[in-house]
Structure 1
């Protein structure tokens, strides 16, 4: 009898040890066009984000996180490859990320993870509503996704291996979050770790399309705009902000639902939960809208990292300069996995855990080719720049363009470029920028030279058309040869 009891307790001990040493899960919540400044915990007194505010209290808040190329497809491609845009080639929207790329999903899959993707993809380049076969899903198995849509209330997707298009039953962020909850319930019974991405299309414009319940919350609320919104843009900015905030509060409820599901299923302790965005939104700041430009409202994104098993549940604000290519290696570092040689980003995991001093002084921002919502006709231009903990320095093809002291001028109202009083700062940042570009093998040429190098077809605005037609409006039937795509 004693021998049997010993055997039982030994087996239970082994099971307990196995459960404790299980690799951490990952739930990555990626939203579209949510700037870092527009969250309750970041100081916005109008927007209602109670779940994110609570999550921030129990997470690492990497409040200096930068979207190095602040536009949809480039961010996503850098996120899942750990590479800079001139390496993976996705420096514009609506082009194909090479299906042979070494990606985060393929890497985790090799380590025994179940991989899943729900929502907006935007890395396939075969038209925004086209079916994406398994061979182009970059290692994600569970699949409920569409290339791109911002029709949030009639949002379509493909599921599994079926080429039959389906429609989310409600406002897509809500329906997609409910699918995440179902997935988490199923995974709580599995011995395999999982890596799940949910990519939500809002709060990207159109702004006035959140469910009525959320729009009503901001209908009669006084909107406080940022100090850098010009007077002539205020009326439009206020109207758009009401819708922008409505989307945000809807998403906040979704985040709360998914986080609660992790707790309910006993997964919260050993799951790395990330909340972030692909880029920000100018929303009238500097008289501009949307993204791509090198201003704070465009490049700065939220990044909350919740991992109780390692960091506990006491929130901490960190000023590390995390950039998009750094996310993949940092997650791999936190899960004690080897970083592939193809990855160019830095692994910040040792800095986050306090094992290593933060030695990153600058991080790179760029626009290889202006397009879409920021074409040359609206001032679009190629640029390269550096962001430090205090300054933003940017060059275009003509030379130094912008220099802001973000500490003393948080709204970037005064361009200090070429001024005598900051000559030494500008010189240091110029030298550091040249060093960074040399390391990245970035010759900083005209955008059209890179378009030609990667064999992308563009229209008269120098934008890759996202419909399955060329710039003359002629339908293209053979996507393998006739549609803009990455041929490298």
Structure 2
């Protein structure tokens, strides 16, 4: 027996010293990143936010295990600018994408490149909207062309369309620039592609962006089984929808909800697939949107405007290994440029010096709210559906956890107490009772602008600086533009 023990014990010690017998800690394993992006989904349209008429069961369940950001703010609430700020962690007047369909410079350091350099497999599926078109080319001419390999900003797995708002049997381009088709409603095969990517890379760290087109208009093109879930006549509208627009608003809202519930269905499939792969605990999953949609609040549709329906977006983050799976609500605002550095912090990757946003990962891990008093909102150049001729105007503002304060080139424009006036029905600007509050918010805005070295100039100044041309009729404005009554 002694001889057997003398032989066995050294072998046992040697085997037990091998790394695969040790419990891995999160510090030694790179987390995966799955970033799911919807287009034009406003924050208010979620079950977990108290909306009882929209059906989002999978997102609601996910929210019950996630951080819920109640004031996730689109710094510049429109498509390409949001994407550029998210991928670079920079503000629009730094990266230069403050207008749709302008090309993000190749020199930009982006999420895909940072994670790839850290050893990640990188993938992007769906809408891109950052290749743009060259100066002088026909507006929107780049939307149906492939994105060259050197313009993919570090993403290798590539199933992408620059821009489309046709969500049925739409086409895309693969890694070889070969044209392919998403069969049926594209949200579903795009989700299947994401699941395939995750499955193939489950044993190595990966970073994946899945970018859906809906619920962006057209509002009435979701699959029939989702459209039948909503009867427009029974929908309740926000109180800030003018009476004369309410019938059309209900029809639009029903179609919008159908898109949203279809995405929720696909999201549930993706999360269940991730769970079945056994890598959920070490995967950082994010769900958010580029901007909201007015949906006839204030009598208008779509985005760019500084009201909450446009600037507030859903933001859920789940990462069990570091954040646990107990839901927690974050009250203070987070802006678009803050997303990338915060994700890098949660991934334990170094924040490059090019990033301007703030990393809130330590506070999130510690269980605190984030230490951000206000997030900047801006529109350096109004364009397209909110061009000058349609009432568009340049603005800068801030959104705190309670207040909205906005200036245009003529001076203070909007002031809302969103706690007592959640539908922003009463503008308090220049109301003597709120003079001290307005001064406080003005000082805070000026501090934010000084940090960004933002001079708040007229739109033409920025278009000239970046050698951009206005699209079509965007530049037309009334001769008395700065004197028009608010």
Match of 1:392, SS state, is: strand
Q: Does residue 64 of the first structure (1) align with residue 78 of the second (2)?
A: no
Distance 1:179 1:387, change over 3 A: same
Distance in 2, Cα, partners of 1:186 & 1:328: 25
Q: Does residue 156 of the first structure (1) align with residue 171 of the second (2)?
A: yes
2:220 corresponds in structure 1 to 208
Q: Which runs of 4+ in 1 moved over 4 A?
A: none
Q: Does residue 9 of the first structure (1) align with residue 16 of the second (2)?
A: yes
1:109 corresponds in structure 2 to 116
1:120-155 CA-to-partner distances (Å, cap 9, x unmatched) read: 000011310111111001111111001000100021
Distance 1:254 1:337, change over 3 A: same
- Tell me if the contact between 1:277 and 1:302 (Cα under 8 Å) persists in the aligned partners: yes
Following superposition, the deviation at residue 439 of structure 1 comes to 1.2
Q: Which structure 1 residue ranges, 5 or more long, are not aligned?
A: 465-488
1:376 corresponds in structure 2 to 388
- Tell me if the contact between 2:231 and 2:254 (Cα under 8 Å) persists in the aligned partners: yes
2:187 aligned residue (162, 166, 173): 173
Q: How many residues align?
A: 461
- Tell me if the contact between 1:372 and 1:463 (Cα under 8 Å) persists in the aligned partners: no
1:296 aligned residue (308, 312, 317): 308
Distance in 2, Cα, partners of 1:27 & 1:274: 6
2:287 corresponds in structure 1 to 275
2:249 corresponds in structure 1 to 237
Bigger drift between 287-296 and 217-226 goes to 217-226
Distance in 2, Cα, partners of 1:460 & 1:184: 42
Following superposition, the deviation at residue 19 of structure 1 comes to 8.1
Following superposition, the deviation at residue 357 of structure 1 comes to 6.6
1:50-90 CA-to-partner distances (Å, cap 9, x unmatched) read: 00000110000011110010000000000000000000000
Match of 2:73, SS state, is: coil
1:361 corresponds in structure 2 to 373
* Matches for 1:223-372 after TM superposition, within 5 Å: 223-354=235-366, 358-372=370-384
Distance in 2, Cα, partners of 1:358 & 1:243: 35
Match of 2:217, SS state, is: coil
Distance in 2, Cα, partners of 1:432 & 1:158: 45
Q: Which structure 2 residue ranges, 5 or more long, are not aligned?
A: 1-7, 134-141, 477-486
1:392-446 CA-to-partner distances (Å, cap 9, x unmatched) read: 0000001110000100000000000000011001101111111111110111111
Following superposition, the deviation at residue 356 of structure 1 comes to 6.6
Distance in 2, Cα, partners of 1:155 & 1:224: 32
Q: Does residue 389 of the first structure (1) align with residue 389 of the second (2)?
A: no
Match of 1:130, SS state, is: coil
1:369-413 CA-to-partner distances (Å, cap 9, x unmatched) read: 000111112110000001111110000001110000100000000
Match of 1:217, SS state, is: coil
Q: Does residue 130 of the first structure (1) align with residue 145 of the second (2)?
A: yes
1:181-222 CA-to-partner distances (Å, cap 9, x unmatched) read: 11111112x2x2111000000000000000111011113661
1:288-312 CA-to-partner distances (Å, cap 9, x unmatched) read: 1000000000000000000111121
Distance in 1, Cα, partners of 2:11 & 2:271: 41
- Tell me if the contact between 2:389 and 2:474 (Cα under 8 Å) persists in the aligned partners: no
Distance in 2, Cα, partners of 1:397 & 1:419: 19
* Matches for 1:13-162 after TM superposition, within 5 Å: 13=20, 16-17=23-24, 21-126=28-133, 127-160=142-175, 162=176
1:468 corresponds in structure 2 to none
Report the TM-score when normalising by structure 1. Answer: 0.92
Distance in 2, Cα, partners of 1:303 & 1:205: 21
Following superposition, the deviation at residue 4 of structure 1 comes to 3.3
- Tell me if the contact between 2:381 and 2:393 (Cα under 8 Å) persists in the aligned partners: yes
Match of 1:373, SS state, is: helix
- Tell me if the contact between 1:117 and 1:196 (Cα under 8 Å) persists in the aligned partners: yes
- Tell me if the contact between 1:70 and 1:298 (Cα under 8 Å) persists in the aligned partners: yes
1:472 corresponds in structure 2 to none
Following superposition, the deviation at residue 14 of structure 1 comes to 5.2
Distance 1:390 1:18, change over 3 A: closer
Following superposition, the deviation at residue 355 of structure 1 comes to 7.1
Match of 1:431, SS state, is: helix
Match of 2:34, SS state, is: strand
Match of 2:199, SS state, is: helix
- Tell me if the contact between 2:332 and 2:371 (Cα under 8 Å) persists in the aligned partners: no
Distance 1:271 1:463, change over 3 A: farther
1:414 corresponds in structure 2 to 426
Distance 1:185 1:358, change over 3 A: closer
Following superposition, the deviation at residue 103 of structure 1 comes to 0.9
Following superposition, the deviation at residue 314 of structure 1 comes to 1.1
Distance in 2, Cα, partners of 1:241 & 1:43: 17
Following superposition, the deviation at residue 363 of structure 1 comes to 1.1
Distance in 2, Cα, partners of 1:12 & 1:390: 51
Distance in 2, Cα, partners of 1:221 & 1:54: 28
